[in-house]
Chains A and B, each alone.
Chain A
Amino acid sequence: MSEDQSAVATEASRPGLSAGPTSEFSLFFHVKPGEGESIRAALRDLQETPGYRPGDYGMAIASIHEARFVLFDDDTRLAFVTSFDGSWDAYMDDFLTSGPTLALFDAIFSHTEGYDGLPDLAALQAFVLGAQQTAAAYARNYGGTVKEIRKAQRVNDAFQQVLDDPDAADALQHPALKPLLDEAAD
């Protein structure tokens, strides 16, 4: 993609609001007339894809916190709303070339107006960014990125495992471990 094109795209994208390292990204599309049912079916397929199934927690894009697809106005409109760690703008080219996401989204976007399909990535990028609306307000309730949260969960799991050990109380008495001991009581 040429220098020129991505500059234009960046400008058009009016990047989402951010809260710390995370920013919101909200896209609004028009469903092609008469394709409400097919787009619902495509979304059901997405929901059954590994990573998107209930309980999976492993979406193709590792840096989004959550993603929702909402059909509204009698299935004539589609919203795609997500929170993303880093800058969508900066990574836009990468998404469009990084395999799995593209194919998944292609099946959904093909039911929306103005979508010319693959493989014209420049057109795809313009299409996506043209659908973006910046939030009027955005807030988050925790500060971590997806990677930090996952790391924190692993550390907590390990910590809980340590606490389950009968010798933990003794072991944690070492002054170097004081910050951990402070978290050990509940």
Chain B
Amino acid sequence: MESNSLELDDIQSGALHERPTPYVGTYLLLRIDDRAAGRELVRRLHGLVDSGKTSQDPAHGAWITAAFTYQGLEALGVPQDSLDSFAPEFRQGMAARAAELGDVGQSSPPNWEKPLGTPDVHVALGVLSSDQARLDAAAERARRAHRELTGVELIWRQDCYQLPTGRTSFGFKDGIGQPSVEGSGLPPSNPKEKPLKAGAIVLGYPDETGELPPMPSPDVLGRNGTYVVFRKLHTKVAAYRRYLRDKAASREEEALLGAKMVGRWQSGAPLALAPDADDPKLGADPQRNNDFLYGDDLRGLKCPAGAHSRRANPRDALDGDGSVDVRLHRMIRRGTSYGPMLPDGELEDDGVDRGIVFVFAGAHLKRQFEFVKTQWLNDGIFVGAPLEKDPLVGTNDGSGRFTIPEVPIRRRLQDLPPFVVTRGGEYCFAPGLRALRWLAELDT
């Protein structure tokens, strides 16, 4: 077999490397009205995107990631047989997958923020930096790449920034549970989990099955690319706080119920290691805060089987099922936070939009993102609770239920409303650098 070592220099760094902390960033969506202008844009982006390891040097500035929707690749003139070689879910686009994904009612595409989910979205750019000045400089470079190009239109922009607390809108630290990837050069955050095969995240390498995942053709386009999902998720923070206030007798109990829903305390300390009380030191310690499994807690007395983190990554909890290989469903997450914090203690909605821009990177849209969303977050069959969904992000409708195992008697939360509303999103493909050049030089 040929060498499988990752061609880091050809891979956009967003997929394999952590974002800075703290961060500020902006997401830009562009529409290509003129093919030649689109290719010129890609040529310029080729010089702007980051590959290889993200420099830890703060002077490095910002990194830019570029990705394309199916319509975007079509607008650039990618030949049809090549378009046809992409994953079916990518070809359909996220809006077409709404029913499967549980994006219904308030979350359904007709209610999405325009132009999300429309054929106008062609290019998605993510620019992230550790401070505003550098972000502005990088965003300016990105803007120059498209500004004086007539035929490329900026159609949407979403700024994001880490809240001063370092937490997301519900109050929790995030971005902790993350698989490590063979060859990425980053140490695993969970020493109990073997690094994922590179092909689970980057196309062109064997994945966890030992096979090469289906890769778009020609090779130069597919290799070193990765699928990217982004979803703007509005969080109903006031409703969430009121729900906990209703169900709990004290602030301590509120914190406990919140932690049971997530599987971690607000500080990030996992229930598996800190079952009874928050342990901020543990939460803040990257050496320890992801170093755990669930095998000693199959009944979920420490961390409920239905908690968000445990659903999204059950670790070893399903090893006895004989039918689930959790490693096939791991993903890289690069979510960021948008909107201001709801002031502490506020229980009334202030009408301000806040939430997370959920970002996924992986080689398999269906087996990774869609599987986790549909089978593990929106459904409870896999934990023996078909009536239960993810208490935090599941498609609950006011009749949701959440079981919290507890001695002597389990507790059951009833009437869960939805706390997260999908504002829109897209399935994208982030090509490698050679592929960007290939796209820029298309002459169809």
Which residues of chain B have C-beta atoms less than 8 A from A160's C-beta?
412
Distance, CA A186 to CA B407, complexed state (A): 8
**CB atoms of B408 and A181 under 8 A apart:** yes
Which residues of chain B have C-beta atoms less than 8 A from A185's C-beta?
299, 301, 405-410
B14 interfacial by beta-carbon distance below 8 Å: no
B403 interfacial by beta-carbon distance below 8 Å: yes
B300 interfacial by beta-carbon distance below 8 Å: yes
How far does the Cβ of B271 sit from chain A's closest Cβ, in whole Å? 14
**CB atoms of A186 and B403 under 8 A apart:** yes
Most chain A CB inside 10 Å of its own CB: which residue of B301, B405, B408, B412: B408
A185 (CB) vs chain B CBs: closest residue: B407
Which residues of chain A have C-beta atoms less than 8 A from B406's C-beta?
185
A123 interfacial by beta-carbon distance below 8 Å: no
Q: Which of B299, B301, B410 contacts A163 (CB 8 A)?
A: B410
Distance, CA A185 to CA B412, complexed state (A): 11
**CB atoms of A186 and B412 under 8 A apart:** no
Distance, CA A96 to CA B405, complexed state (A): 49
B412 (CB) vs chain A CBs: closest residue: A164
Distance, CA A163 to CA B300, complexed state (A): 17
Distance, CA A163 to CA B406, complexed state (A): 11
A164 (CB) vs chain B CBs: closest residue: B412
How far does the Cβ of A173 sit from chain B's closest Cβ, in whole Å? 8
A61 interfacial by beta-carbon distance below 8 Å: no
Which residues of chain A have C-beta atoms less than 8 A from B408's C-beta?
169, 172-173, 181, 184-185
Distance, CA A172 to CA B409, complexed state (A): 9
Distance, CA A160 to CA B408, complexed state (A): 13
How many contacting A-B pairs (Cβ < 8 A)?
A: 30
A181 (CB) vs chain B CBs: closest residue: B408
A135 interfacial by beta-carbon distance below 8 Å: no
**CB atoms of B407 and A163 under 8 A apart:** no
Distance, CA A163 to CA B403, complexed state (A): 12
Query: For window 133-186 of chain A, which residues contact chain B by CB distance below 8 Å?
Result: 160, 163-164, 168-169, 172-173, 181, 184-186
> 1/0 per position for A112-139, CB-CB distance to B under 8 A?
0000000000000000000000000000
Q: How large is the interface on A (under 10, 10 to 19, 20 to 34, 35 or more residues)?
A: 10 to 19
Distance, CA A174 to CA B296, complexed state (A): 29
Which residues of chain B have C-beta atoms less than 8 A from A181's C-beta?
408-409
Q: Which of A169, A173, A186 contacts B301 (CB 8 A)?
A: A186
How far does the Cβ of B304 sit from chain A's closest Cβ, in whole Å? 9
B414 (CB) vs chain A CBs: closest residue: A164
Distance, CA A185 to CA B410, complexed state (A): 4
How far does the Cβ of B121 sit from chain A's closest Cβ, in whole Å? 37
Which residues of chain B have C-beta atoms less than 8 A from A184's C-beta?
408-410
A163 (CB) vs chain B CBs: closest residue: B409
B304 (CB) vs chain A CBs: closest residue: A186
Distance, CA A173 to CA B409, complexed state (A): 11
Which residues of chain B have C-beta atoms less than 8 A from A186's C-beta?
299-301, 403, 405, 410
A186 (CB) vs chain B CBs: closest residue: B405
Which residues of chain B have C-beta atoms less than 8 A from A173's C-beta?
408
Query: For window 362-415 of chain B, which residues contact chain A by CB distance below 8 Å?
Result: 403, 405-410, 412
> 1/0 per position for B342-364, CB-CB distance to A under 8 A?
00000000000000000000000
Most chain A CB inside 10 Å of its own CB: which residue of B301, B403, B409: B409
How far does the Cβ of B434 sit from chain A's closest Cβ, in whole Å? 49
Which residues of chain A have C-beta atoms less than 8 A from B301's C-beta?
185-186
A171 (CB) vs chain B CBs: closest residue: B409
Which residues of chain B have C-beta atoms less than 8 A from A172's C-beta?
408-409
B300 (CB) vs chain A CBs: closest residue: A186
How far does the Cβ of A159 sit from chain B's closest Cβ, in whole Å? 11
Binding site for A on B (CB under 8 A): 299-301, 403, 405-410, 412
Query: What are 23 of the A-B contact pairs (CB < 8 Å)?
Result: A160-B412, A163-B410, A163-B412, A164-B412, A172-B408, A173-B408, A181-B409, A184-B408, A184-B409, A184-B410, A185-B299, A185-B301, A185-B405, A185-B406, A185-B407, A185-B408, A185-B410, A186-B299, A186-B300, A186-B301, A186-B403, A186-B405, A186-B410
Besides A163-B409, A186-B410, 20 other A-B contacts (C-beta < 8 A): A160-B412, A163-B410, A163-B412, A168-B409, A169-B408, A172-B408, A172-B409, A181-B408, A184-B410, A185-B299, A185-B301, A185-B406, A185-B407, A185-B408, A185-B409, A185-B410, A186-B299, A186-B301, A186-B403, A186-B405
The 8 closest A-B CB pairs, nearest first, are A186-B405, A184-B409, A186-B299, A185-B407, A169-B409, A186-B410, A163-B409, A169-B408
